[in-house]
Amino acid sequence: MLEWILGLYCLYLLIKLYAALMEIGFVEKAKRFEPIVLSAANYRKAAAYKIASQKLSLVTTLYDFMLFFVWITFGLRRLNEIVFFENTLLNSAVYVLVFIGVNYLLSLPFDLYQTFVLDKKFGFSTIAPRTFFLDQCKSVAMFIVFGGAFFVAMAYIIDTFKDWWMYGFAFSFAVVLFINMIYPVVIVPIFNKLTPLQDENLQSAIERLLDKAGLHSSGVFCLDASKRDNRLNAYFGGLGRSKRVVLFDTLIAKLTTSELLAVLGHELGHFAHKDILKNIAASALMLFIMFALFGNLPLGLFESLHVEPSAHVVIALFLLLSPVISFAMMPLFGLLSRYNEYRADAYGSECENQEALRAALIKLADENKSFPFAHPLTIALYFTHPPLTARLERLGMRFESSAKDACAH
């Protein structure tokens, strides 16, 4: 049984490594061509950033495999011997928190490298070590309190019900919905400062845009994203017809009013097409499949791991293997998501106009230094959004013989 799990993980590992190597080769080739979409300097930078992050992902993928191997072969069993409390629920919660804590600490060096070396070098990360440290402390504290409570509840469900996976699924899904609901109102303000938008013209333009889509605003806010990162973004929060609009200060600084409205129009397109609900349904389905799998693990697996099929081991296995399962499901969800993005682009360009959305997308990519296209395998495996060149083509832009075509063959 153990061989099967390891075999499956190795397959996952090989596909990921192969895709990363293909992507590196693709971008190495593409960067030698005449730059398209981005300014020449940013095109080269975007290529270099992509290659550097793919190389980092080669290392982390191998490292994660090593961690997985250690946990599966003796880590889970060893932790079972170390963590021992009379109270089974407390025992389960501590076991899972220690398991996650160890993984967190072991992957921290890579996070530090990404934030303070890679993202600094390419001019994304503006975060001060102090802010990073405070963020980490806040996250860890919240995780211990809320994660601990969640795992106690989950362990209770696993220990109590025979068909626990159905109840476990219902409970987890309710928690996911709840977090999504409170995220913009409760969690974002813990990390960032939201201030009402000062620009009244922009504010009333945004309100008119929402009206057209049959929604109304419960406030337009500016978020101080620039204290961490230079990348641009915007989002809508809130359920029902009343929406809170949050614009990153970095976005307001770079886009014209018309471009901002086109970007918000794109987001409104997701509401108009009920994409948010569809995404929720898709993640419910994904979660359901995972619970159905982990609720029916064969006993032979626990025997080969030399552990009891106790609640905390089931949860740890879930956490270890869920990346593999979501990786397997991602191509289908990515495909649906990319389709939805095209439709939202069409909606956004109707709200404002094609030129404004095109200009906004190009500026976003230029500022975020995101490479405008990718190897087809990378797109199929990971992309939730179509590559920029494909989106721009749908918005009426034509590329003459370019790197894009040269690399496709």
Binding track, positions 282-321, relative to Zn ion; x by CB under 5 A: ----------------------------------------
DSSP bridge partners of 246: 221, 235
Instruction: Find the binding residues for Zn ion in span 9-68 (CB under 5 A).
Output: none
CB closer to Zn ion out of 55 and 212: 212
Residues in contact with Zn ion, counted by CB under 5 A, come to a total of 2
Q: What angle do CA 53, 58, 59 make, to 5 degrees?
A: 95
CB of 344 to Zn ion, least distance (A): 5
CB of 341 to Zn ion, least distance (A): 5
CB closer to Zn ion out of 23 and 341: 341
CB closer to Zn ion out of 20 and 344: 344
Residue tagged 């620009």 (tokens): 199
Q: In the complex, which residue's CB is closest to Zn ion? A: 344
From the list 58-66, 242-250, 340-348, 387-395, the region that binds Zn ion by CB under 5 A is 340-348
Q: Which of 38, 246, 290, 344 binds Zn ion (CB under 5 A)?
A: 344
CB closer to Zn ion out of 311 and 344: 344
CB of 342 to Zn ion, least distance (A): 10
Burial code (b: 16+ CB inside 10 Å, e: under 16) for 314-324 equals bbbbbebbeeb
Question: Which strands make up the sheet holding 194-196, listed edge to edge?
Answer: 194-196, 216-223, 242-248, 234-237
Tokens of 365: 């990519």
Q: Is 234 in the site for Zn ion (CB under 5 A)?
A: no
From the list 122-130, 195-203, 242-250, 335-343, the region that binds Zn ion by CB under 5 A is 335-343
From the list 11-19, 193-201, 338-346, 401-409, the region that binds Zn ion by CB under 5 A is 338-346
DSSP character string of 63-79: HHHHHHHHIIIIIHHHH
Burial code (b: 16+ CB inside 10 Å, e: under 16) for 136-158 equals eeeeeeeeeeeeeebbbbbbbbb
**For 241-310, where are the alpha helices, taking DSSP H only?**
249-254, 257-272, 275-294, 299-305
Binding site for Zn ion (CB under 5 A): 341, 344
